[in-house]
A and B are shown apart, each in its own frame.
Chain A
Amino acid sequence: MKPVWLIAGNFVREQRWPIVILLGWVALLSAAAGFSDLRRSPDDVFMMFQQVAVYILVFSLFFGASAIRNELRTRRILAVLSKGISRRQYIAGLLLGIVTAVVVYCLALGAAGSWVLPQAGVPAARFWFLLLGLLTASLLTACLALFFSIFLHPLLATGATMVSVGVPLLLAAVWKSPWAAVIPVYAILQGFLDLSGHDVALRGWMVLLAWGETGVLWLASAWLFSWKDVAVAVE
């Protein structure tokens, strides 16, 4: 387990500037919401929190799609994989690094929300539950992107992830069927976006499903990555 934590810590360290920028953005928006007249207009506060929540999903997508490629391009991966670390541990480390970044962001968002949202009439406890959903959706998105990035260019991996997340949603909208639960990123995110807390049982079930899918994707990524030639330079 130690190598996994080391890879995760290293990932966070390497991505510290995007993470700091995200945290700065949360601080800026919550300050704007908390100290201005915005708290008197709850809709504006909601919109602001929805916006910053979606940012982390987008960042998770980019983190996942570019994590392996960056290491291959710089060839830093060779020194790492020449040590006593398996490919499965390496992938787990990258995912844990993304989770750590998302958790830090969610904690900052949670702290800001706990201060600002009650002033707009939203209970803080409900917000923390919804943050768990946001974390799950972000992790599943990152894991999908990481999986595709093993055999696709990061841009194509990003596209493939967006299609994988979007198609079930489209099918659900067209046929009014439970397709949205196939890859439930949007379905979980919806709970956050409307800050409703409705259908908690259904969303709880989807959160569990998403964690299961994340586990399967991690195993599939690790298996696929174990066949990847990491020594060939990518440009």
Chain B
Amino acid sequence: MAAVLEFEEVSKHYGGWLSRRPPVRALDNFSLQVEAGEIFGFLGPNGAGKTTAIHLALGFMRANSGRGRMLGRPFGEARTRRRVGFLAENVALYHRPALHLVQFYGALNGMGGTRLRQRARDVLELVNLGSDAERNVAAFSRGMLQRIGLAQALVNDPELLILDEPTSALDPIARVVIRELLLRLKREGKTVFLSSHLLSEVELVCDRVGVMHQGRLARLGKTADLLHSREQTQVVARGIAAGAFPGAVASDGVVSFIIATASQRQVLEQIWKLGGEVVSVNPLKRSLEQIFLEVTQARGEGA
């Protein structure tokens, strides 16, 4: 598959001898490829470099070294941005009626006429703001602002949608709406680059996930692969004593415990020798939160 967003050994640092701030290395030889048609989850703690990477892609700043391409063109080209939608972490928009606002941002992307008017109404409906189209966004709640921000990002029917924390201020119902919307965009062949702290959301919608830490990509893979451990397996057995295996827990007549995948065969034979019955053997399923903590803590200790 073709990459729609590529970072090639990109480094970016802030501050320096002319700045009052101490130098900070926001991205350190960062490389990543986001493929067409996928929903990519971009995770990492605060200050990991996620927003910097997004801002570089959109041309808000320039990298100190390395290079990147968006939709096949170098970062920072205005013409490429016409095919991209972006929602910033802190939504800041002009104060005017919602419909006019969305039309304004659509027009900046070269849209116009009846098509723009219709599209603006459609995207407001998509984000459940159809009935608020004539209201000034100055009176909107934070959740509504985030949804109008999403509407302006979608107005040009983008091939690539870059979202920086799109659901952080949304209530559970609105989150479900946005989740459905992202999945619908994926079905339409769009690519979504989703930076988020809401790991459960990412787990539900993303095809692949990258975890950033201290300006580097610490973990990258398919969501399903990351969630299912290759190194550890969970075994559930019946008819054996809980003390037969270290760390085993008895509950509802079964005993469950975690083993190294490499020793799986040996453990199963041992269960049978003890007269037990194997109920299930599955790769250990971890939450994204566990992986996130594992990556950030391990790196933190190593640093």
**CB neighbours of B82 from chain A (8 A):** 83-84
* From A6, A79, A89, contact of B88 by CB (8 A): A79
A85–B55 alpha-carbon span in the complex (Å): 15
Contact between B94 and A14 (Cβ–Cβ < 8 Å)? yes
With a cutoff of 8 Å between Cβ atoms, the chain B residues found around residue A74 in the complex are: 92
Q: Judge if B136 is at the interface, Cβ distance under 8 Å.
A: no
- Report B-chain residues with C-beta under 8 Å of the C-beta of A10: 94, 104
A79 touches B107 (CB 8 A): no
18 A-B residue pairs with Cβ-Cβ distance under 8 Å, sorted by A, are: A2-B112, A3-B108, A6-B104, A14-B94, A74-B92, A82-B81, A83-B108, A84-B78, A84-B79, A84-B82, A84-B108, A85-B81, A89-B78, A229-B60, A231-B51, A231-B60, A232-B14, A232-B61
- For the complex, give the distance between the alpha carbons of A227 and B60 in Å: 9
* Residue ID in chain A nearest B86 by CB atoms: A82
Q: A10-B104, A83-B109, A85-B78 are in contact. Are A75 and B59 (CB under 8 A)?
A: no
Give 19 A-B pairs besides A2-B110, A75-B92, A78-B88 with Cβ atoms closer than 8 angstroms: A2-B112, A3-B107, A10-B94, A13-B96, A14-B94, A75-B90, A76-B92, A78-B92, A79-B149, A82-B86, A83-B82, A83-B105, A84-B78, A84-B81, A85-B81, A85-B108, A227-B62, A229-B61, A229-B62
In the bound complex, residues from chain A placing their C-beta under 8 Å from that of B109 are: 83-84
**Nearest-Cβ distance from residue A226 to partner chain B, whole angstroms:** 8
List of B residues within 8 angstroms of A80 by Cβ? 105, 108
Check: A202 CB closer than 8 A to any chain B CB.
no
What residues of chain B lie closer than 8 Å to A231, measured between beta carbons? Answer: 51-52, 55, 60-61
Encode contact with A along B51-71: 1 for CB under 8 Å, 0 otherwise: 110010011111000000000
Expressed in whole angstroms, the minimum distance between the Cβ of B102 and any Cβ of chain A is 11
* A219 at the B interface (CB under 8 A): no
Residues on A with beta carbons closer than 8 Å to the beta carbon of B93 = 76, 79
- Kindly state the separation between the CA atoms of A163 and B35 in the bound complex, as whole angstroms: 53
- In chain A, positions 178-235 with a C-beta closer than 8 Å to chain B are 227, 229-232
Which residues of B have CB within 8 Å of A6?
Answer: 104, 107-108
CB distance from B93 to the nearest CB of A (A): 6
In the complex, are the beta carbons of B86 and A84 less than 8 A apart? Answer: no
B residues neighboring A (CB under 8 Å): 14, 51-52, 55, 58-62, 78-79, 81-82, 84, 86, 88, 90-94, 96, 104-105, 107-110, 112, 149, 152, 156
Interface membership of A81, Cβ < 8 A:
yes
**CB under 8 Å from chain B, chain A span 54-89:** 74-76, 78-86, 89
**Measured between alpha carbons, how far is A85 from B104 in the docked complex, in Å?**
13
Q: A82-B81, A83-B81 are in contact. Are A75 and B104 (CB under 8 A)?
A: no
| Interchain nearest-CB distance for A88 vs B (Å) | 9
Smallest Cβ-Cβ distance to B107: which chain A residue: A6
| A9 vs chain B, min Cβ distance (A) | 9
Instruction: State whether A2 and B88 are in contact (beta carbons under 8 Å apart), knowing that A227-B62, A231-B60 are contacts in the complex.
Output: no
CB proximity of A76 to chain B, nearest CB, Å: 5
Query: How close is A11's CB to chain B, nearest CB, in angstroms?
Result: 11
How far, in angstroms, from A78 to B89 measured CA to CA in the complex? 10
The distance from the CB of B217 to the nearest CB of chain A, in whole angstroms, is: 20
Residue of A nearest to B88 (CB): A78
Q: Which residue of B lies closest to A83 (CB)?
A: B108
A79 to B96, CA, bound (A): 15
Give the distance in Å from the alpha carbon of A89 to the alpha carbon of B109 in the complex: 13
A229 CA to B58 CA in the complex, in Å? 11
B107 with A76: CB separation less than 8 A:
no
**Distance in Å from the Cβ of B288 to the closest Cβ of chain A?**
27
A230 to B81 Cα, complex, angstroms: 16
A89 to chain B, nearest CB (A): 7
Tell me the minimal C-beta distance from B174 to chain A in angstroms. Answer: 20
Contact mask A149-182 → B, CB, 8 Å, 1/0?
0000000000000000000000000000000000
Identify the closest chain A residue to B52 (Cβ).
A231
Residues of A within 8 A of B152 (CB): 79
* Distance of B62 from chain A, by nearest CB (Å): 7
What chain B residues lie within 8 Å of A85 (beta carbons)? Answer: 78, 81, 108
CA distance A89 to B156 in the complex (A): 19
